[in-house]
Structure 1
Amino acid sequence: MSNSPMITDRALVDKIISGDMQAFKLLIKQNERLVAHMVSRLVDNPEDREELCQDVFLKVYQKLSGFNFQSKLSTWIATIAYRHSVNYLKKKKIPIEGDIEQEEFQSRTHFVVHENPENLFSNKDLKDFMVQMVDKLPVQYKTVVTLFHLEGMKLPEIEQVTELPVNTIKSHLFRARKLLKEKLKLYLVKEELL
């Protein structure tokens, strides 16, 4: 634990509501990665992502007095980020639902990463490759994968954020993992041939 005193979510919210802008800056700092993950998993355009992230924190600030601590503050913020991004997609008429089959995923991810064989299995290369593959998944899949694996949320928290039933979330995770596993196998086979 660091030398600086930890501030509880409740104390942080109270300070922000009473007008402490430094506390709000701290809230942003603590949650900017989460919000960026949520927005980037749904929205492709980098300029729109940046604007949406700013809008999310503006909404958080505006609605903070109504936060009732029925969930973690981070879960509540992720919910706002998710819903704001979904509303953006609906407004732009960009589809957010839909399953994807193995063949379609393969066609979306047809590129081969050419690396030096000695660097082939480095953790960074593999991690970069997997991040690229997650980005190719359908919106709902990459959202639940991000929340579960990158943000460490539990299924009930993901249910709250996405308003998807737990069984649907489990199904999305299962299908996404299956697609990613198959793509990883192909990647490793192709890379061994280089």
Structure 2
Amino acid sequence: MDITGDAVAEPKPGRALKSARLLLRPLRVDDLAEMQRYAVDPAFWRWLPLPPLTAGSVAAFHAAKMAEADAPDRWLWAIEPLDLHRICGTIELRTQDAANRAADMGWGLDAAQQGKGYMTEAASLVLRFALGDAGFERVWAVAAVENEASWRVMERIGMRREGTLRHHADVRGVWRDDHLYAAVRGDALPARP
């Protein structure tokens, strides 16, 4: 089904997206060990409004995402650089308001792979898919005010800052302010990666 509830052809569109350097593909069972390796690093989870990640909590996340892989209202891609032949993160697109065709995006990347442009490339692919084939009118994302790397990704892919959400997330007992970014159908986006 698409975001309006109408039937769509199987398999679900957007199952795999590709650029010159990246393959965004469905999460697989054999991705768990790699996810556990990078996700337990505090540099990975520091901005997430979750308790510190452990191998067990990463396994639970992985199992939950595998179980909802065919849900019509969300997409989760493993980010696999073609030269690494292993995943280095995930990116997700979630329907937030089907009636108004609105979705949000969220992502996480192995700290050792940050600064290489992978997330900008992945987020650009997902945003173009969201505002194109997936049929969304509006896509938004948030990042901690202090997480400049993440909100700079949003800017590089053509999202615009709409404001700052004060005390938006409780991150391990500390209230965090988040910048809100969005793109809408018809916005001029940078060239395709």
Higher helix share: 1
TM-score (norm: length of structure 1): 0.28
Structure whose CA Rg is larger: 1
Higher strand share: 2
Q: Relative contact order, CA 8 A, sep 6+: which one is greater? A: 1
